Structure 1
């Protein structure tokens, strides 16, 4: 989970992607009318659970009737993508139930997900006539299954009509299995000619991998080797790239030295630095490319692989060699020391570098890092004047804004609160985002309090608590008010007194049928084209209607996006009532609620924290994949997920990591593990979920000024600092929705700074 790019939310999550929710809705067959979203005055129907889902019979031939099977566990298993369990449950149904068209459809989908393509072809053959609601989907998925199990010519004909790269790839695979190698290669040639228009390198990698395999079968080794070399370099880190490199070895072909270097650098960029090191070691021995280039790449790989002692040694050697990157190597050797736990020595080196090279950009960076690490180490009296020196030497420096902010933090903890208060006030007024301004104002209140102006501090904290209720800044302000013995304002202004007028909502037939069999993600796609039409009959309440419709789905991605587009900030500044609770649930949905709450209880995770992470990590998109391959709802890094799976005794398959069942189970376990490591302190555990536990361990030590708001304010990564604030703000909202004011846990100001992070923490 470290150093991942993710969807970043603004204040309360508005203005970045989207959110979603629900209004009171009419039940589907087998559903209850009670709200699984819960909380005070709940007015929204929940996403369906297995016990609330029974197949509808909308697609039976006219004039026929049959009772739907009783609600069973299989629907929940399908929703959570527990395919093995779903198969067992479905196959245990009575024969009459299994032969219903919608049941054949869901059973075929389960078979396809389990890799039983032949069974899918069997179940889907002729099904489109019995289930016209899904005719296009049935035809396509039968073709997908046929491309694996046959009839291959039929699959090739179907996918060959499409212009999409993925469909062209499927067509070629079907032709290959049908023995039509020349036609398959022609199809891939045509697809690769258009691959340049794709923004995803993975598309081209799949096409080239297939062409290399087919060309080898045809005896066309020049084409094979050219594609394999492209894969080994350009797709390094992807499965196709690693398979390409292995195939080159099998064919006793090698990359040119410069391509080996390019491959190693690509692996480093892809987050697989450990795999790059052996390549670079070999290049260093052979000395077939410029020596300095190899040494720099190797040192960088060691740093990215978190082998800090070796990285420090490699950069230190480089710093003794002549060349244009000598000063950079000096900086990075100190950087490796700091990351490896030797911050005091790193500070000395940075200060030496900054005094020797003056205006060099690496000298600027060194001076700033020395000040920053003094701040993190609790050496505030030394940090504050060093920031002053940086700002004087580099008035237009790259780190000026950060330096002004961190200087104020140093002054605040170095018995210079009046200076800090002045700077924080100025920065708050200049802040471009309201949430950033309020966090700065909360710290300004602390500076006023430490300067002896209690009345001003109470005024500022009260204003922050009222202005953006349930935000991290407001929670911190309330804790400061309580500690100062000052009166607390309302947690949030009470709801406006408006009577509820529930909407009579229903889903379009295709979406309704898919939800009834547990295929909520597909139902979302079926509802999307009908949004305008479906909401039009609720003039003036279109947003509420859309959120209510999407609230019938366990899948929350589109709910979330609809909410961002439709719900305004004023609706979040006071508590919701019966009439407008849908807006909160739109912006703070709770997909897979039963499963999430079960896992939170199992791993001693505060109620609502998993959804709070999910909202910030993936915007509830189970298909989310970051540039460094963090996966799914909780954006798990594959290596982290693999270690977590081993600890919970679960087999690990990277291809299943997007599955809600797998992603939620491993992510819930991991945040629970972090909470145990950091003594049940959400501030620290959430920071560790983003930046890694070892990084958080570096930011804690006895003697630092470690109250929660100050500790978060000093987090050296902007991403992590904002992440912690947003997740804890999310948590407060989810807690309020669960039980009102009484359910919102106060922000504990005390942060344990003597936690020992285990060496094998991940």
Structure 2
């Protein structure tokens, strides 16, 4: 069987070029389906398919799309059987979790047990109420032990309402053990649901009742909290949940110094934290506040004592939210030890923990780079070099670029070799329901739903060949953002599943290049760098704040900028005319650059506004002045979105400089940062 090497998205695009026109849909059919989809959006639901006059023009895949579009609406009241039949027949259709939640809400007492079991075997229950419905079905079909296990799972679930709670007690009280009640009490208390926790009082032993009453008093900010706390048995007094509740109570009462001392002096037994994510978030919250208040030593002591995991725990296997909290806490603890306390030997283990918890290159390179900084400061030159080498593997990311500079070389953009693609793989891909739905939506000009199906295709792709096929849709669909979406997914979540050890996958699709007029060539690096972060090259992108187009301009900002440079004002053209959009966007950036005299400050101002950029200077010092470290300054930006934005835009600029041949020397990122020394 012959095959072709996919050297770029252009090869796949040529193979898939008919994708936008393959679906043969008459004008009458297109009008009909547009109307039906519009009715869905307006909550005007009709059970009718095409009318008899137009039934000959019915398009089966669009019938499926219309049904999916109806079922995903919160305002639609479909039967459980309707949801179940659709999802079992079309398990790969978009917004699966939403459909599952809506299907679960549609389960009523009269839904047969076998129908429930059939559905939940394919889609395990998400909500406590759905778990109860499954337990009832298992009990009705003679699966008592399975029913008891499901009931216990429901009892331990978040979001258990009082009606479901009563039903569980009524139907499965004998199956609920003391440890189940204690676990539920813990979960409720960590989530601040003290009323529901109070209902468990009769189900706990005497010591735990005293413990529960104290925690309820603390979380409820009761005046008798100290007395309740004093009544807790000594064996339970040093539990993380109780200490956390006491610290929060002290802070509410204006006794922050006591709260900080409590957390700094407390170290839970390894593995003894019921909810590591919330514990880490609390430690980070108090630690960051202490640092901002000018006490880095106290901040470090609070965060360094978290002991949220047993030594040897595979941190990368922990849930996403928990890993994110751990990464932020460990990074800040390490940074404070290194940069504020002058304790590099203490800093290095924290940065190694960041690396151990990381699944994505952006965080892996961050952990490795700062490990290198700490080891270098501690005099371990060889260890520092090894850490920098690991970070530098990711030359398309901020800290990978800095690590390369620290090693005395320019960042390397290692591009993964192109996959081999056989013709039968193309035909198989074209036959997939998601792709056929995408073709039909393209024929309707339905960009909004098209985007939903595209994202699902990206997440569903599992092999380099499938990734190339999905990215190859970018050109025939005129969707440059699709290539960026695939590339970012593969460099993020996807790379944790599908290894691209040889470099960056689908580089050309992931880093698209616009055709610009000559007048914009001097600004093309920053145009591309900002556009890739702002809109991912989706020319019709619109934010919740009404920022529009490639460079995500607010209409007011665009109008002001147009007036300053003598261009006509047109809000509509922000979406429809890419050159108009990037002309105004780059002009606005140039104005910020002229005002602040710094690319970093200009990028921060582009994201957060010039007022916030000035506030950052007041808070963290002026990075344009000697003695202010630019990397520390960026990491100290108090708005996490802006902190991330600055790093992503500047790393994009380095990549595009290399693409355009405008990169200079071995310290291209430091040039953008305004740093005199590399790395």
State the TM-score, normalized to the length of structure 1: 0.44
Relative CO higher for 1 or 2, CA cutoff 8 Å, sep ≥ 6? Answer: 1
